[in-house]
Structure 1
Amino acid sequence: MKKILYRILFYLICITEVFASINPPGNSFFSTHDEVIFSKAEVLNEYTARIPFKLIDHLIVVEAEVLDKKGDFIIDTGSETLILNEVHFPLKKRFYSKKKRTSGVIAVMDDTFEKNVKDFILQNFNLKNKVSDIVNLSHIEKAKKMHLLGVIGYNILKDYEIFIDMHLNQITLSKVNKHGDLLDKNVYAEKIIDSINFNLKKHTIVINGKVDNEEVRFGLDSAAEFNQINKKVDKKVLKHFYPKRRLVLMGASNDKIEVLAGKLFRVKLSETVYFGPMYTVLTNLNKMNEAFGTNLDGVLGYEFFQQKRTIINYQKEKLYFVKYPILRH
């Protein structure tokens, strides 16, 4: 029997609708001969490419082509693997190895299939012998009204330094060596103004931070449309969460959960890295912690990246922050 444990239940509703009352208004994976092509990527050199993205609700989505199919891939630092949507890539037993559990954009699921991917090609980057999971993502596809081919996760992203830039709506991927040093020495024209360390727990980015003066552990997840805070954290933390309304959210298996939605204030990750109020939901993270294999007090997602132009370096276990331009009117 499928055991579905939702890491983010909130993909299945429209975030625009949810927060309306709070804040009124070329390149590739897949195989046997398989290739995924990011048709809109700008290749700067053999090590670096820039890929424009669009926001579908608050999901970071890039356009890609797989064989003769063109569609959307979600960028998900919370996903362990490359995930392909079974709706568009039906299971053919001879191509797949074993049933396994996977974590990612929708869940932890027992009944997923593993597939060895011969080539993941990002323009002239060629990553061989990757592993993908085959998962039915039809519930996300329908809820978001998108042509969802899959999810790009940690096992693809870890070989690059990843610059997620909400200001320009683009992702820059630049190849690094085993020590995390950039092979392209002239990637960024923008100024890096700060950095923090993180701990990598399996594939999960874990950040030690504070809400006011209380210590908290956050997971960083680029596919989390909502920030989340655990209802079981210290009351000294929760006094900085200001609820606006109750929501009933429904998952793909028709499970329902009631949460409080509001704003979380006074979040800081260091003495110099801090945030304005962030839209957040208050929920029980016990099952998600089981999925992540770590003890998190909260999750930082879209709201984090909206406030900080962020570079992720998995090998160095560091986040770097790029200066926002001064806008003159």
Structure 2
Amino acid sequence: MLRLFYFILFFSICIPLVHAKDDLSNPILFSNAEVLNEYTTRIPFKLVDHLIVVEAELLDKKGNFIIDTGSERMILNSVHFSNLYEHQRKYESTSGVMHSIENSYEKQIKAFALQDFTLENKNSDVINLSHIEKSKKIKLLGIIGYSILKDYEVFIDLHLNQITLTKVDKFGNKLNKNVYLEKIVDSLDFYLKNHTIVVNAFINYQKVRLGVDTAAEFNQINKSVNKRVLQYFVPKKRLKLQGASNNTIKVMAGKLHRVKLSNTIYFGPMNTIVTNLSKMNEAFGTQLDGILGYEFFAQKRTIINYKKEKLYFINYPIKHIE
């Protein structure tokens, strides 16, 4: 049975920004990361409700970061990084799926260190995420988004609850070939709309465009989608959702059937909400018919290669019945 949940999906718009000169010279450290080789590291994560959360330390503060492919850049929680200045205020608001996020600031991360990996001069938005901390009951330092992930092949494994990051060249080729013990069984092309992963799919034989987002706790379908798509949505109950800007909406939740990405890649029924995605599409300049989130990754062990614009899939182990 579906329960009341908080929908957390962060998006940013590519817009001119006020660049802050206040650098964070200390790196972000992942104390639980396991270095596999000079280009590859493995980070365990925990699921907080349906969010992928890793533990890290920044500026002597230890806490949690949400892995969010729907966020363009890193986001820091102003509750824990309060040394902000008025000149850091952005000229434009950062956009959330339900409403623009006001009072947004920008910092520059001088070094983002992941064991042997160091990323220089990464920008970060700074906003108040206290409502997420309260609802999820965790100390949330921030969000790790596209700007950090894009230079790696990212293996999101909900079977072992770990993320494997391996460095790639400008063409998307792994700098170390021997990374995965598991066999890749299928792949799918996607395209990037700004920072958003977009795949072409079919629902009840109707073509749809779907975004892929690790921080969407449930899948979403736009309420204005073709009626033939909604024929395979089985409603269960109405829910209240809280968005990135801390305001709430009511949506219908249920099960979505007959989602197919190719002749070989298809899904069982997935928990899904029907909602209005017009503000998100306006912010992105896209026309998405829906979002694939936790339910997608729960059924598919997925590797994201941003440079090649490819998704790769590894099977879950077959459960043997005694």
Common fold: TM-score over 0.5: yes
Q: CA separation in 2, counterparts of 1:105 and 1:37?
A: 30
Deviation per CA, 1:124-171, whole angstroms, max 9, x where unpaired?
101101111111111111111010000000000000000000000000
Which residue of the other structure, out of 120, 136, 140, is the alignment partner of 2:112? 120
Q: CA separation in 2, counterparts of 1:252 and 1:184?
A: 37
Q: CA separation in 1, counterparts of 2:318 and 2:118?
A: 37
Change (3 A) 1:291 1:211: same
Change (3 A) 1:57 1:265: same
Alignment match, 1:223 = 215
Instruction: Normalising by structure 2, report the TM-score.
Output: 0.90
Change (3 A) 1:317 1:267: same
Alignment of 1:96-111 (within 5 A): 96=88, 98-103=90-95, 108-111=100-103
Contact 2:97–2:280 (Cα < 8 Å) also in 1: no
Q: CA separation in 1, counterparts of 2:175 and 2:244?
A: 42
Change (3 A) 1:97 1:286: closer
Contact 2:52–2:214 (Cα < 8 Å) also in 1: yes
Which residue of the other structure, out of 131, 134, 142, is the alignment partner of 1:139? 131
Which residue of the other structure, out of 249, 256, 264, is the alignment partner of 2:256? 264
Which residue of the other structure, out of 75, 80, 86, is the alignment partner of 1:88? 80
Aligned length: 305
Q: CA separation in 1, counterparts of 2:98 and 2:137?
A: 16
Q: CA separation in 2, counterparts of 1:95 and 1:50?
A: 38
Contact 2:193–2:286 (Cα < 8 Å) also in 1: yes
Contact 1:79–1:104 (Cα < 8 Å) also in 2: no
Q: CA deviation at 1:9?
A: 6.5
Instruction: Normalising by structure 1, report the TM-score.
Output: 0.88
Which residue of the other structure, out of 143, 166, 174, is the alignment partner of 2:158? 166
Alignment match, 1:51 = 43
Which residue of the other structure, out of 168, 171, 186, is the alignment partner of 1:176? 168
Change (3 A) 1:182 1:268: same
Q: CA separation in 2, counterparts of 1:106 and 1:152?
A: 20
The sequence identity of aligned pairs, in percent, is 65
Which residue of the other structure, out of 179, 185, 196, is the alignment partner of 2:188? 196
Unaligned runs of 5+ in 2: 10-21
Change (3 A) 1:252 1:77: closer
Tell me the SS of whatever aligns to 2:131.
helix
Alignment match, 1:247 = 239
Q: CA deviation at 1:97?
A: 6.8
Q: CA deviation at 1:258?
A: 1.7
Tell me if 1:10 matches 2:2: no
Report the AA paired with residue 114 of structure 1: E
Tell me if 1:277 matches 2:274: no
Deviation per CA, 1:209-253, whole angstroms, max 9, x where unpaired?
000210000000000001000110011000000001112334466
Deviation per CA, 1:264-317, whole angstroms, max 9, x where unpaired?
000010000000000000111111212232110000000000000000000100
What's the Cα RMSD here?
2.1
Contact 1:11–1:106 (Cα < 8 Å) also in 2: no
Q: CA deviation at 1:95?
A: 8.7
Report the AA paired with residue 190 of structure 1: E
Alignment match, 1:208 = 200
Contact 2:99–2:279 (Cα < 8 Å) also in 1: no
Change (3 A) 1:185 1:262: same
Change (3 A) 1:153 1:288: same
Q: CA separation in 2, counterparts of 1:211 and 1:191?
A: 28
Q: CA separation in 2, counterparts of 1:298 and 1:132?
A: 27
Report the AA paired with residue 204 of structure 2: D
Report the AA paired with residue 230 of structure 1: N
Q: CA separation in 2, counterparts of 1:44 and 1:249?
A: 39
Contact 2:108–2:121 (Cα < 8 Å) also in 1: yes
